[in-house]
Structure 1
Amino acid sequence: MTDRDSSSSEDDDQSYRDETKDYEDDGETRDESGAGPGPGFAGVSSTLRAVIRIKQKYRALKKRRQEMALAMGGLPGAPVRSSPKIFTFDSAPASASSSPQWKKRKRKRRVLYPNRRRRRAPGPEHSPAEFCLYLLSAILFVQVYNAIENLDDHVIRYDLEGLEKTLGREVFGQQGAVEALLWHLKDFLSTYVHNRPLVVSLHGPSGVGKSHLGRLLAGHFRSVVGEPLVLQYFALHHCPPEAEAPRCAERLVSLVSEAVELGEREEKIPLFVLDEAEHMPREILDALLGLVGTPAANQFLNAIYVVLSHQGHELITEHLLRNVSAEADRAHLGRVLTPALRRHLEGRHPLWAQVNLVPLGLLEKSHVSECFLDEMSREGFYPDRVHMEQLAAEIQYYPAVGGREYSATGCKQVVAKVNLL
């Protein structure tokens, strides 16, 4: 160690001892002179007094050291003293160079939408009732769709498409009547619950295909619902003129009742084909009116009645012969003739007011040729066109009107003439 360093440490120790002594003397002086705490200081606890005394000593010591540092710094060649690093409650004076630069923070704008999404102005708030409306619409759509599917399934059960193909192939010259009949059947068979039975009455002159159409209907329904649910009733056969009409009526009601009860158990709709209605006595017509014209509480609601009759054929024949030029489209025959035909039939019996009338028109010469072709094919004859025209020319016709020749007997004589070959 050098002489300079030893002298410096001796000077530091001496100065520290002097500072302590001066501080003690200063404290004693303050206590004696009464510069310290006031008279109320004696009432304070000993711990608080000790804290206050330590703080006063620390301030006096700090003041004395600052004065000594200033005095020594002014002398040339004075040693540089390094004061010990003592933790104080006072913050050190900050230099101008190291003072932090307080910058004004920019306030960021609030981001309402992500940058990757398409921005658009918020729309009006939706009411909760709108969601309920959409949900109700969806439920209604599903219910209607299921109902339509169920209707289609019920119609498919009766194979009406196959029936339509059969009637289109087997029945000649009655396209309008066939379409009307199929429309009534589809509308009725689309559901199993009804408020009244279906009654369709086919009217037309002799030989136009009424009985043939009834046989085709009965055969088709036998194949889809079974033999016990189909009844073909011929008035002259089941109730001849010599039979008792009331008993015939009771017998008919009994047959209908048995078939309807069986259909209810099997959930099927029976078919009743009533041919030769023009020969039915009034008692049978009254019994039919009781079956089809009673209120909705009637037990015979799920049933189809097809009545075949040539009543009103005079109106149909007269209309076709007088309006042949206006009836180029035979599909409109029922729409034109139905009102007049209904008025004509209601005067005979109230039953005709409860039925759906379907008129059948006269057959032309081309239709008779088709009847010959079909019958000859069934019997195994070669269908010679010249031969068929010769056979068709032997049929009786009305006088030609507007280039059309209508058969007076229809296809009734076709079977007899083919059997003579």
Structure 2
Amino acid sequence: MPKMRDNDLSNGGLESQVDEEEEGEEEEEEKKTTPFNPSSPSLFSPQLKAMMRIRNKYQALKKRRISSNSAAPATPRANMPEVFTFEQLAEQKKKNRRRKSRVLFPSDSRKFLPKEKERSRAKPFLILFSIIVFLQVYNAIENLDDHVVKYDLEGLEKTLGREVFGQKRGVDTLMEHLRDYLSTYSHKRPLALSVHGPSGVGKSHLGRLLTRHFRSVVGDQLVVQYFALHNCPPSESPGRCAAELTARVAQVVARAEADERIPVVVLDEAHAMRPPVLNALLELLQPDQSNEFLNVVYVLLGSLGHEEIIRHVLQNSSSSSSSSSFWKSQENDMEDVIRSSLAEQHPLWAEVDVVALTLLEKSHVVECFLEEMTREGFYPDLGHVDQLAGELSYYSAGGRQYSQNGCKQVVAKVNLL
């Protein structure tokens, strides 16, 4: 019987024994249900009474537990396992996502200043370094300006634009080369400019203007003006002419090195120079020389390649495009053609920068007449000037008239007045 009692308690989920009060109440209920007759003998054995008493207790406890569960929802015990569902996992993920979505921003104002020891020491050095770099760049720019101002290239550009008619693009190209080269004093090789053009377009006049200007800014001793037919006539030995030219250039560059200036050598009538003279010039243009021979400006003036220039101008005069970019590309093509054709005659022309002067139109010839008549003291009558300009020979192409001899006959026409 004790075994049955233990099994009944374990099957009912009982955790403790029944207290004395509950036993008393159950005995009273049992007495009420069982009629008491002392005179009659007991119909049940003690074992059966014990089993009935245990059963009544179990039924009473079961009714009490059911009534308590219906009154209040049962809470899961701590030692009972939880049932896993995917809904709980989804709810947990939503909670974690809500927690992660929260962004905390720092306060706008600092509550305390950093200590002196915690401040970076690199900040003063960075400021000092920036100031030094600024001063170096400013000093370099000032040095470039000083070199350009020393040679007065702005005044030269105004003079050439005023006195050389119809060659604005050629003058701009020439000034661009001079400005880039004369902005510094130290160079890796000399600057050699070769000005080419037909007869009467202003090559010799351009050479005279360059010589006059640089003599006024750097001195007569640092400018060389060399005429091939005058300084080296056909009767003179070309080897001797080459030696004299080399010695003269060496004397000038030595004096220029002492004065820290760049000399200028203007070589007119370059088309009449013979091969020994051209060879001497080619040696002077090489980069493997002493430092004073690298800081020199050579300007060669000649009519070599004038056939290519005339052909190129006449072929492209009928083009409908008149933009500056179009003519700039046309001039570059013309200079490349001149350089390639001249390089076949002598290697010197492959080492120079070509500046091409184009044909003059009739309007430019009129300007030449006005300038010459004003210089000679004549009153410039426009009707008379047009008549004189019409007496010259012209090429006709693309609705334009180009002078065959430029302004070369203008002086003779004015002298006859």
Q: Could you state the TM-score of these two structures normalised by the residue count of structure 2? A: 0.69
Seen in structure 2, the aligned counterparts of structure 1 residues 119 and 324 have a Cα distance that, compared at 3 Å, is: same
Say whether residues 1:168 and 2:161 are aligned partners: yes
Give distance in 2, aligned partners of 1:371 and 1:407: 12
Match of 2:286 in 1: 293
Q: How far 1:126 sits from its partner (Å)? A: 7.5
Q: Distance in 2 between matches of 1:392 and 1:403?
A: 17
Cross-structure match for 1:371: 368
Q: Tell me by how many angstroms 1:122 deviates.
A: 7.9
The 3-state SS of whatever aligns with 1:247 is: helix
Shift of the alpha carbon at 1:345?
1.2
Classify the secondary structure of the residue corresponding to 1:299.
helix
Match of 1:219 among 205, 212, 221: 212
Partner of 2:144: 151
The residue that corresponds to 1:362 in the other structure is: 359
SS of 2:403's equivalent? coil
Three-state SS of the structure 1 residue aligned to 2:294 is: coil
Q: What's the counterpart of residue 20 of structure 2?
A: none
1:407 maps to 2:403: yes
Alignment of 1:68-217 (within 5 A): 119-120=109-110, 128-129=121-122, 131-217=124-210
Given that residues 200 and 406 in structure 2 are in contact (C-alpha distance below 8 angstroms), is that contact kept between their aligned partners in structure 1? yes
Q: Residues 128 and 257 of structure 1: is their aligned pair in 2 closer, same or farther, counting only changes over 3 Å?
A: same
Q: Does structure 1 retain, via aligned residues, the 8 Å contact 2:287–2:294?
A: no
Contact persistence 2:257–2:292 (CA under 8 A): no
What is the CA-CA distance between 1:335 and the residue it aligns to?
A: 1.8
Q: Which blocks of at least 5 consecutive residues in structure 1 are unaligned?
A: 1-117
Deviation string, structure 1 residues 29-64 (Cα, Å, up to 9, x no partner):
xxxxxxxxxxxxxxxxxxxxxxxxxxxxxxxxxxxx
CA distance in 2, matches of 1:362, 1:278: 18
What is the distance in 1 between the residues matched to 2:315 and 2:119?
68
Shift of residue 303 of structure 1? Answer: 1.1
Corresponding residue number in structure 1 for 2:416: 420
2:400 and 2:378 map into 1 onto residues whose CA distance is 28
Cα-to-partner distance string for 1:272-314 (whole Å, 9 max, x where unaligned):
1101111100000000001012425453111110001111111
Tell me, yes or no, if the aligned pair for 1:176 and 1:332 is still in contact at 8 Å.
Answer: no
SS of the counterpart of 1:200? strand
In structure 2, the gaps of 5 or more residues are 1-107
Deviation per CA, 1:327-347, whole angstroms, max 9, x where unpaired? Answer: 734555432212222111111
Once the two structures are TM-superposed, the CA of residue 127 in structure 1 deviates from its matched residue by 5.5
Residues 352 and 358 of structure 1: CA distance in aligned 2, closer, same or farther (over 3 Å): same
SS at match of 1:406: strand
The residue number in structure 2 matching 1:261 is 254
SS in 1 for 2:355: strand
- Quick one: structure 1 residues 385 and 126, their matched pair in 2 at CA, closer, same or farther if it must change by over 3 Å? farther
The residue that corresponds to 1:320 in the other structure is: 313
Find the aligned partners of 2:303 and 2:329 in 1 and give their Cα distance.
20
Q: Which deviates further from its counterpart, 243-252 or 322-331?
A: 322-331
How far 1:215 moved relative to its partner? 0.4
Q: Which amino acid aligns with 1:370?
A: E
Change (3 A) 1:135 1:404: same
| Residues in 1 aligned to 2:111 and 2:402: alpha-carbon distance in whole angstroms | 78
Q: Is the 8 A contact 2:246 2:280 kept in 1?
A: yes
1:249 to 2:246 alignment? no
> What code does the residue aligned with 1:174 have?
Q
What SS does the aligned partner of 1:348 have?
coil
Instruction: Please state whether the residue corresponding to 2:292 is helix, strand or coil.
Output: coil
Is 1:341–2:347 an aligned residue pair?
no
Query: What letter is aligned with 1:246?
Result: G
SS at match of 1:382: coil
In structure 2, C-alpha distance between the alignment counterparts of 1:278 and 1:123, rounded to whole Å? 81
For residue 151 of structure 1, give the secondary structure of its aligned residue in structure 2.
helix
- CA drift at 1:325: 3.1
Distance 1:126 1:344, change over 3 A: farther
User: Are residue 380 (structure 1) and residue 382 (structure 2) matched?
Assistant: no
Q: Secondary structure at the match of 1:405?
A: strand
SS of 2:161's equivalent in the other structure is helix
Counterpart CA distance in 1 for 2:109 and 2:291 is 68
Q: Write the letter of the residue equivalent to 1:382.
A: Y
Residue aligned with 2:397, SS: coil
CA deviation after TM superposition for structure 1 residue 135, in Å: 3.2
Aligned residue type for 2:356: P
The one-letter amino acid of 1:119's match is S
Deviation (angstroms), 1:188:
1.0
AA aligned opposite 1:390? Q
The structure whose Rg is larger is: 1
TM-score by length of 1: 0.69
Which residue of the partner structure matches residue 39 of structure 2? none
Aligned length: 303
